[in-house]
Amino acid sequence: GQSLEQPSEVTAVEGAIVQINCTYQTSGFYGLSWYQQHDGGAPTFLSYNALDGLEETGRFSSFLSRSDSYGYLLLQELQMKDSASYFCVATDSWGKLQFGAGTQVVVTP
Amino acid sequence: NAGVTQTPKFRVLKTGQSMTLLCAQDMNHEYMYWYRQDPGMGLRLIHYSVGEGTTAKGEVPDGYNVSRLKKQNFLLGLESAAPSQTSVYFCASSYAVSQGLQLHNEQFFGPGTRLTVL
C-alpha cells in the first residue's frame, strides 16, 4: 500500500536544530513536499524536492534521496513560533498530494 | 486578495441531514481539492477538480459529492450525514500541473470547516 512514515512528536529547546525524517512507499512518486500546520490553522507550504539533494529556504532545509525513499526536514535556530505539526507529503505524477500523519514539534524555552 | 475561503466555519448536523460546503478562490487556479482531517492524522483527499466542469474521486470519496460549475468555486455535498463524517474539512487550490516538467504542486489551503455529526 501507499504510506509515509514520520515520527509522531519531537521536542527541542529554542535555538536548537531539529530533523524530521520521512520514509515513503507510494506509487507514481514524483516529489516530496513539507507543510506546516499550527493548531486550529490551515496547512501552509514550506518546501518541495523533486530531485535528490538539499533545498534551503531560510531557517528550513529539506532533503530527498529517491534511491532510499527517504527525505527530511531540518529546522534550524528553533523559535517558539515553530511549534506546530509538520507533514511529509508525497506528490504523484498527477499532482495529487498524499499526507503523512504529521510530526508535532514542541519548542520549549 | 482573499486567497481561499470556506463557508461555513462551523456546523453541527444530525445523522441523515444533508449540507453543502462552499469553497471559493480568487487566484485563478485551475485545480481545486477537498480534504478531510481527523484528529492526529494527516489530510486525506476526498475529491478534486482539474478545471471547470470536471471532478474526480480521491482517496475517500464515499458519502460525498462535488460540483465545479464555476472556476472559482468548488462545492462539497454530504447527502446523508453520518457520525463518521465528523471532521475538519479543508479546501485547497493550485495552478495547473504540467507533467514532464519539474512538477511543483504547491497547494493553498482555506481556513477549514469544523463539522460535527450527532
State the Cα torsion B65-B51-B4-B59 to the nearest 10°.
Answer: 40
Reported as a pLDDT band with limits 50, 70 and 90, residue A95 is confident
Judged by DSSP in three states, B8 sits in coil
Which residues, in sequence order, are CB contacts of B29 under 8 Å at separation 6+?
A: B93, B94, B95, B108
Q: Which of B90, B102, B103 is closest, CB to CB, to A95?
A: B103
Residue A102, sorted as left (phi over 0), alpha (psi -120 to 50) or beta, turns out to be: left
pLDDT reported for residue A57: 87
Is the CB of A98 less than 8 angstroms away from the CB of B104? Answer: no
Q: Using CA atoms, how far apart are residues B36 and B81, in angstroms rounded to an integer?
A: 14
> A82, A84, A86: which is closest to A72 by C-alpha?
A86
CA distance A43 to chain B (A): 6
Q: Classify strands A103-108 and B4-7 as parallel, antiparallel or unpaired.
A: unpaired
Size of chain A, expressed as the number of residues it contains:
109
Geometric angle at alpha carbon B114, from B106 and B40, rounded to 5°: 70
Residue B76 dihedral angles phi and psi, to the nearest 5°: -115, 125
Q: Which of chain B's residues have a Cβ under 8 Å away from the Cβ of A96?
A: 45, 48, 58, 105
Stretch among A34-48, A93-107, B86-100 having the lowest mean pLDDT: B86-100
Residues 6 or more apart in contact with residue A99 via CB below 8 angstroms: A4, A35, A87, A88, A89, B42, B43, B44
Query: What's the pLDDT tens digit per position in B11-58?
Result: 999 999 999 999 999 999 999 999 999 988 889 999 999 899 999 999
User: Which chain A residues have a beta carbon less than 8 Å from that of B111?
Assistant: 41-42
Cβ atoms within 10 Å of A29's Cβ, excluding its own: 16
| Closest chain B C-alpha to A107 CA, distance in angstroms | 18
Length of chain B counted residue by residue: 118
Provide the percentage of residues in chain A whose pLDDT is more than 90. 82
Based on DSSP, count helices (H) and strands (E) in chain A, helices before strands.
0, 11
Chain position carrying cell 532510499: A68
